[in-house]
Amino acid sequence: MGTVKPTYIKKLGKQLLREVNEFTDDFDVNKKIVDEHTNIESKGIRNRIAGYITHKKKGKGESEV
């Protein structure tokens, strides 16, 4: 089993998925898109959000979005 994502990561990730249609299943691309569309200064938080979005775009856990 994987780690549990905090609520703020899921909430912001889902909000970005609804508002921005540029996301792909490539983590590095999503990292840049998250950086452009948010004002998050923490690299770790940005990466966690980009990882969550990448996970959703790859089709894992599609029922939650």
DSSP 43-56: HHHHHHHHHHHHHH
Identify the residue with better confidence: 11 or 64.
11
* Predicted pLDDT of residue 63: 53
Tokens of 15: 């909000």
Q: Does domain 8-57 have CATH number 1.20.1090.10?
A: no
Q: What is the domain partition of the chain in residue ranges?
A: 8-57
Residue 41: half-sphere exposure toward Cβ, Cα within 13 Å: 0
- Res. 59: pLDDT tops 70: yes
Predicted TM-score (pTM) of the model is 0.85
* 4 — pLDDT class (breaks 50, 70, 90): confident
- Res. 16: pLDDT tops 60: yes
Q: How far apart are CA 56 and CA 20, in angstroms?
A: 14
- For residue range 35-58, list pLDDT tens digits in order: 999 999 999 999 999 999 999 999
Burial of 34 (0-12, 13-18, 19+ CB in 10 A): buried
